[in-house]
Amino acid sequence: MSSEQSSTAGDTPASKVRHSRLYYLCHGLLWLFMGLQPVGLLWLLLFPDSLSDVSSDPLWGIRDLAELSLWQRITMTAVGSATVAMMMLAAWNMRTVAMQFARGLFFSALSVQATRRMALLLAFFPLVKMVEQAILSVVMTIDRGPGEKMLVINTSNHDLAALLVGIMMLLFAEALAHAKAQREELEEIV
C-alpha cells in the first residue's frame, strides 16, 4: 500500500462521522464534568448543612458539616480541589487525544504526550485522594478535644480501578509511542 493510499484510508465519510461523534461526546462530557465539580465544592463551602445527609462517603460521618467553622470549610474546599483538578486535567487530556484522533493523527507526539499525562493523572489519583481524605479528616476534627481527633485513611475498589485504568492507559501510551517511532522510521525509508 502506498503512502498516499494509507494517508487517505481513514478519511472515508463513515470514519469522519464516527470521529466527529467521539469529538462531541468528549467535549460534552468534559464541559459537564468541569461545570459540575466546582459547583459541588462551592456548595460545600456556602451551604454545608444541606449536604450533611446526602453523602455516602465514610469521611462525612465524622462530623456534621454544618458544625464546621468557615476556615474549616474553606480548607476543605481548597484541599478537595486537588482531586477535582486532577480529574479535570485528565479529562482535558482525553479531549486532546480525541481531537488528535478525530484528525487522524493517531501517532502524533501530542497524542502520545496527552495519553501519558492522562494515564499518570489516573494512576496517581488514588494516592492523592487518600492523602486528601486524611487531611480532610484532620481538618474536620482539629477543634475537638483530646481523644476525639481523627485521622482517616480510606481506600476503595474505585481507587484500585482508577489505578488499573491508569496503568492500562500508560501501556496504551507506550504502544502509541512505539507505533509512532515505527511510522517515522518507515517514512524515512520511503
How many other C-beta atoms lie within 10 A of the C-beta of residue 95?
A: 18
Indicate the burial class of 76 (C-beta count within 10 angstroms; 0-12, 13-18, 19 or more): buried
Angle 155-157-161 from CA coordinates, rounded to 5°: 110
Give the SS3 label for residue 35.
helix
Look at the pTM and tell me if it is higher than 0.75: no
Cβ-Cβ contacts under 8 Å for 168 (sequence gap 6 or more): 119
Query: 3-class SS at 112?
Result: helix
Give, for all 190 residues of the chain, the pLDDT tens digit.
Answer: 344 334 444 444 444 545 567 667 767 777 777 777 677 777 767 776 665 554 445 555 566 667 778 888 888 878 888 888 888 888 889 888 888 887 888 888 899 999 999 999 989 999 998 999 899 888 888 888 888 888 888 888 888 888 899 899 899 999 988 988 888 888 888 7
Which residues have a Cβ under 8 Å from the Cβ of 140 and sit 6 or more positions away?
Answer: 59, 62, 63, 68, 72, 76, 150
